[in-house]
Structure 1
Amino acid sequence: MPAARSSAPRGASRAKKATAIPQVSWREPRPAPIVLVSGPQEVCAERAIAGIRDYLRLEDPSLEVSDVRADDYEAGSLLSLTSPSLFGEPRLVRVAGVEKATDAFIQEALAYLEHPQEGATVILRHTGASVRGKKLLDAVRAGTGGGIEIPCPAIKRDSDRFDFAAGEFTAAERRIAPQALRTLVSAFADDVTELAAACQQLIGDVEGDITPDVVERYYGGRVEVSAFVVADTAIAGRFGEALVTLRHALASGADPVPLVAAFAMKLRGMARVAGSREPTAALASRLGMKDWQIDRARRDLSGWNERSLGLAIQATARADAEVKGAARDPIFALERMVTVIATRRPFGE
């Protein structure tokens, strides 16, 4: 009689295998005999690894910490560093470069998983930059060695950066105004490490709630902040002030491309929200936006209609092409875009 065919989805067994070990947040790391820190986001990985070290040192200040390069591995090092010492101090071995590991390291690490040393914590750092070491990762994720995984996925999207920065202040039990958070994230849109440092600076330096004025005072000179100041002013309909702010941003070294990008980001949010009467939470969930982003876009829409919003989007698309080489004078392209948006009328009308 033929065996009964499973009704489970084809990928179910693979998904189960991939999550056989606990998945632990990098914000709340904890030790285990084997800790796989996976993914490309270095700032999160560094926090996780430092957190495990601090956790173990609180338990026993005599902790021995050792570092190993899996891509420049000396045979026998792993077992040597994890073996109990004369006085039995706990051991932490941090292994970097597992995505480029030598055959010798992979072989010895697989053998180690079968018999982890008592009192030792081994951290395996794999960035995911290659499939090298897949057999080792599969063994860890299958539960061999009693490990855990701390995923550190890439922070690429705006929503990811907002969540990251908001989490910094939540973890420190500090309050930051939504507009201040948006300005801060915009100021460091291209570098999560710098964003993390900026969050920690504000947490360490500023007493009380963190307001938009505080963020502007600290980071108002950055190009991306200036870009959003120009966009906010123009969208609010303050034509003269918007032109002055634009010229100030350009004089401060702002590049036309991110200036246009700031306008595009805000107008895109306004267009997505326009005409919807859904409750904020429901609309945010459907559009993949934050509640405060919905509220801000709705406030920005005051005084706008379908025609003026269409004109603004067209003007921004034209300016985007022109500042990227389609025209000889990117400054004029910016001024025309700001004029259309701030006056809500076609240029020259």
Structure 2
Amino acid sequence: MSSFGSTLLVTGPEAFLAQRAVARTRAAALKERPEADVNEITAAELEDTMLSEVVGGSLFSSDIVAVIDDVGACPPGVVDQLVAVAKNPGDELCLILVHHGGNKGKGLIDKLKKAKVPTEPVAAFKAWELPKFVAEEAKRNKIRISQDAAGELVSAVGNDLRALASAVAQLASDSDGGEIDAGLIKRYFAGRAEVTSFAVADAVLAGNANVAMERLRWALSTGAAPVLVTSAMAGAFRGMGKYIDAQGSRMNSNDLARQLGLPPWKMKDYARTSRLWGPGSVAGAIQLIAVGDAEVKGAATDPAFALERMVLGVLALARP
């Protein structure tokens, strides 16, 4: 099927996936007709006769790839013209429309959908979906990755899809055995402040005082901001509280993770360490973490000492 004589509406808040969809469509069109002109513009600029200039041919080429970004900002007087072009693009036009999601420009989007313009949604990923995205990226890079390793990578890199995709590509290029494992990820990201902060929280959840204190001192010595430690601790114990509240349900691990808004791989950690914690101790831990957070943000003269006192206080709440 030709890329020309077609329109694609890319809609949703995930900018990285939107950019990837635009790049893929544009590349396919240029592969088909390398001489085509590429016109890129934001919809807010489509005043007066600008739309016809963007989608029309030039002296040098009659074939056009037109990319119109942020169509939610399209001027009201141009909306019907844009819908008409999108509904019936000429044989020499490949039209790509990008909508950033939300209610902005909803009237235009409704008209485009009513006109049955092909649509590619790019919804934001929820936390529990990120390891699946990592696995799909690994497949794109022709390499294997286990669910646990995908979870490790999310912990190491964070929730940004662009950063995750870049990390997978880098790990794939440096992997010898055709697989990205947890060991490779830990070697790559061991020095990141965010990772060392999560490592402290994991040790506290496991009730391991010696490891927790060792990791805390290492995190601070490698430049981790104290607020990253309190943030990681708060996230870990909020997750534990959710897990304990839902323990009586009969859902499987994946469904439970989805309901709690937690990554499935994290459920294993909570299942393993939940015997150490009850509702009361989790509530007490969250109170201590809140105090520690206030102290490292200025209430204490020695943030490192405040963090050690917080960690030891939380560990004292764990069941033997």
Please confirm whether the aligned pair reaches a TM-score higher than 0.5, indicating the same fold.
yes
What residue in structure 2 maps to residue 206 of structure 1?
A: 175
- Alpha-carbon spacing, 1:165–1:82, altered in 2? closer, same or farther (3 Å): same
Alignment of 1:50-89 (within 5 A): 50-73=23-46, 75-83=48-56
1:43 Cα deviation after fit: 0.9
What residue in structure 2 maps to residue 25 of structure 1?
A: none
d(CA) in 2 for partners of 1:286 and 1:158? 11
CA displacement, residues 197-249 of structure 1 (integer Å, 9 cap, x when unaligned): 22322233324221222112222222211111112223333323321221221
Of the three residues 227, 231, 252, the one matched with 1:257 is 227
What residue in structure 1 maps to residue 236 of structure 2?
A: 266
d(CA) in 2 for partners of 1:114 and 1:31? 13
What residue in structure 2 maps to residue 334 of structure 1?
A: 307
- Greater helix percent: which structure? 2
Of the three residues 202, 206, 231, the one matched with 1:232 is 202
Of the three residues 64, 80, 90, the one matched with 1:117 is 90
**Counterpart AA for 1:149:** T
- Alpha-carbon spacing, 1:318–1:163, altered in 2? closer, same or farther (3 Å): farther
1:256 Cα deviation after fit: 1.8
d(CA) in 2 for partners of 1:255 and 1:327? 15
**Counterpart AA for 1:142:** K
What residue in structure 2 maps to residue 138 of structure 1?
A: 110
Once the two structures are overlaid, the 10-residue window that deviates more, 69-78 or 330-339, is 69-78
Aligned pairs, number: 313
d(CA) in 2 for partners of 1:103 and 1:305? 57
Alignment of 1:47-196 (within 5 A): 47-73=20-46, 75-83=48-56, 91-102=64-75, 105-106=78-79, 108-113=81-86, 115-128=88-101, 131=104, 133-143=105-115, 146-155=116-125, 157-189=126-158, 191-196=160-165
Structure 1 alignment gaps of length 5 or more? 1-29
**Counterpart AA for 2:291:** R
What residue in structure 2 maps to residue 221 of structure 1?
A: 191
CA displacement, residues 8-33 of structure 1 (integer Å, 9 cap, x when unaligned): xxxxxxxxxxxxxxxxxxxxxx8872
Work out whether residues 226 and 307 of structure 2, in 8 Å CA contact, stay in contact via their aligned partners in 1. yes
What residue in structure 2 maps to residue 43 of structure 1?
A: 16
What residue in structure 2 maps to residue 312 of structure 1?
A: 285
**Counterpart AA for 2:183:** D
- Alpha-carbon spacing, 1:40–1:31, altered in 2? closer, same or farther (3 Å): farther
What's the Cα RMSD here? 3.4
TM-score by length of structure 1 reads 0.74
Work out whether residues 92 and 122 of structure 1, in 8 Å CA contact, stay in contact via their aligned partners in 2. yes
TM-score by length of structure 2 reads 0.80
Work out whether residues 130 and 263 of structure 2, in 8 Å CA contact, stay in contact via their aligned partners in 1. no
d(CA) in 2 for partners of 1:83 and 1:75? 14
1:190 Cα deviation after fit: 6.1
